[in-house]
Structure 1
Amino acid sequence: MLRSLVILSVFAMSLVSLSAADGGNAFTALRTAQKVAPSGSLVQMTGTRGEPRPSEWTVLFSDSQARGGIREVVVSGDVVVSQRTPLRGVSGVSSLPPVKLTQLNTDSDAAFNIANQQARNQGIGFNWIDYSLQSENVSGAPVWTLKLFDHMGAPVGTLKVSAQDGSVIQPLEGTPVVRHSSQDGDSNGPTRRLGGVLGTATGIVERTANNVKNVTLRTVGTVQEVLTGERTIGPKDDDDNN
C-alpha cells in the first residue's frame, strides 16, 4: 500500500512539473496579461526555450501611465507571474510600433508547426525554439520570428512567419544534420526532440570501442617489444601516423 502511495505521489509531482513547464500558447498568455495592463498597447511578446511551448511569456506594453513608458508582464498560461515598469533597457522597445490585435490570427502553436515542418523537410535538427512577436517597422504587420537551437544551445536556423495569415516571410535557413550510415547501409538513428536527426548511436559506440581497443593493444604491444625485442600485438606507433 505504501509503495502504491509513493508511486502515485511521484506521478502527481511529474504531472505538476510538466504543467509548470508549459506556459500555454501566446494568445492565452496575451489575454491574461491584458487583464493587468488594460490601457497598454502590445509592442512585443517573447518566449524562450519552447519545447514546443515556453514555460513563460514576457509581454511588453507601451503604456503612458507606466514609468519609462513600458509595462512588462510575465505570464505562464492564465497566471501572472510578475509585472513591473522598467526604467532601463527599454528605449528600443518603446519606439516599436504597436501590434494591431485585430491582425493576430496565427498563434504560437501554428507558428511552431510551420517551423517544425520546414526543419523536417530540410533535415535540420533542433531541440527548442525562441519566439518573438512584434510589428514590422515598414508595413506594421505582426510577424513571428522563430529561432531554433540544438541541445547544446547553438543556433541552427531562423525563420519569420506572418502572424496575420501564417505565410512564411523568411524561410528557415540552417545547416542540415549529417546522418552517419552503418556498414549495413542503415541510416536510422535516434531523432532529436523536435525535427531532424542525430548521427546514429550505434556508429558512435562502435567508434569509441575501436579507439579504446586500439589504445589497449598498442600499450600491450609496446611492453612486449621492450621485454622481447619483438612486437606481435597491436598496431605500432608509426602505423597511426601513416
Structure 2
Amino acid sequence: MKPALLLIVLLASAASVQGNPEVATIIDQEYGAATSEGILLLQSPASAAEPEQWTVYARDPFRQGELVRALLTLDKEGWAPAANGAGTKLLQRVPTQPIAFNRVKLRSADVRKIAQQTAMLAKMNFVTAAYQLAANATTGAPEWGLALNDTNGAEIGFIVISAETGAVIHQQWGNDADGTDAAAPGGTKGERAAVEVKKTARRAWEWTGDAGLETGRFFKKLFSRD
C-alpha cells in the first residue's frame, strides 16, 4: 500500500481507536486504492467526546464527476465500513482536491484541544463539536473545520485548524459563527466587509446538501475489484 494513503498516527492501542479512524487504510482495504486515493471529505456528527462515526466522501473511480460515500462506525472490533450512497448529488459543493493523508499530523482529539484553548481565549465555552477534514482548495494542505455547539446544540463558534501544523487559520465566535451579525447593517464599511469575509469563510465549509442515494447492489458493483 502506498505510504501516501496512511495517516501519520496508526492505531496503537484500544484507547487510540477512540480517535479518528485511519480512513485511507480502511477504505483502501474495503474498496481499493482507486477509491482511497480520491477521498475528498470526512465529516462527523456533533459529539461531546470523540466521534464514533465518520462519513467519507470520495471520487467515484469508475464514473467521472460522481462521488461515492461510506460510513465508518465504531463497534467492539474497531471501525466498521458500510457503503452509504453514490452519484452526483451527495454534496452541494465538492472539494476540489483529495486529502493528502500523509500530511495529516493532528487527529481529531488534537484539534479539539486547540479549539478548547482558543475558545478560552475568546471567553467562550462549547459542549459538542462536529468535525470536517478537507484539503485547502489553493494549497492542498489538509485542514480541520470544527463547528462548536452549546448545550442546546446551537453553533456558537467555528474554527479552522491546519491538520499539518496545528495553526489556527480562522475562527468565528457568537453571532458570526452562524452567519448572522445584528450590528453589521449599522456598522462602518470596513466592519461590514469584515463580517462578509467571516460569512464567506464559514460558507466555504458548507459541503453537504440534500443527498439522493443509490445503494445496495449498484454500490457493491461500483466498488468491485474485478
CA distance in 2, matches of 1:117, 1:52: 16
User: Are positions 1:139 and 2:136 aligned together?
Assistant: no
Match 2:50 to one of 49, 53, 65: 53
The Cα offsets for residues 63-84 of structure 1, whole Å up to 9 and x where unpaired, read as 3226963221111243325213
Contact between 2:68 and 2:87, CA under 8 Å: does it hold in 1?
Answer: no
Question: Which structure 2 residues correspond to residues 181-192 of structure 1 after superposition, within 5 A?
Answer: none
The Cα offsets for residues 74-115 of structure 1, whole Å up to 9 and x where unpaired, read as 112433252134224236555521111221111111111100
CA distance in 2, matches of 1:147, 1:59: 18
CA-based RMSD of the aligned residues comes to 2.6
User: Comparing 103-112 with 25-34, which one deviates more in the overlay?
Assistant: 25-34
CA distance in 1, matches of 2:57, 2:97: 12
Q: CA 1:155–1:100 in 2, change beyond 3 Å: closer, same or farther?
A: same
Give the unaligned 5+ runs of structure 1: 1-18, 176-242
Aligned length: 155
Match 2:26 to one of 13, 29, 32: 32
Q: Once the two structures are aligned, what percentage of the paired residues are identical? A: 20
Deviation at 1:24, TM superposition (A): 2.8
Give the unaligned 5+ runs of structure 2: 1-13, 176-226
Question: Which of 1 and 2 has greater Rg?
Answer: 1
Deviation at 1:169, TM superposition (A): 0.7
More helix by share: 1
* Higher RCO (CA-CA < 8 Å; seq separation 6+): 2
| Matched residue type, 2:56 | V
CA distance in 1, matches of 2:69, 2:18: 18
| Matched residue type, 2:113 | N
Contact between 1:160 and 1:169, CA under 8 Å: does it hold in 2?
Answer: yes
Question: Which structure 2 residues correspond to residues 1-242 of structure 1 after superposition, within 5 A?
Answer: 24-38=18-32, 39-40=34-35, 41-65=38-62, 69-77=66-74, 78-90=78-90, 92=92, 94=94, 96-174=96-174
The Cα offsets for residues 188-212 of structure 1, whole Å up to 9 and x where unpaired, read as xxxxxxxxxxxxxxxxxxxxxxxxx
Contact between 1:57 and 1:76, CA under 8 Å: does it hold in 2?
Answer: yes
| Matched residue type, 1:36 | E
Q: TM-score, normalised by structure 2?
A: 0.60
Contact between 2:66 and 2:88, CA under 8 Å: does it hold in 1?
Answer: no
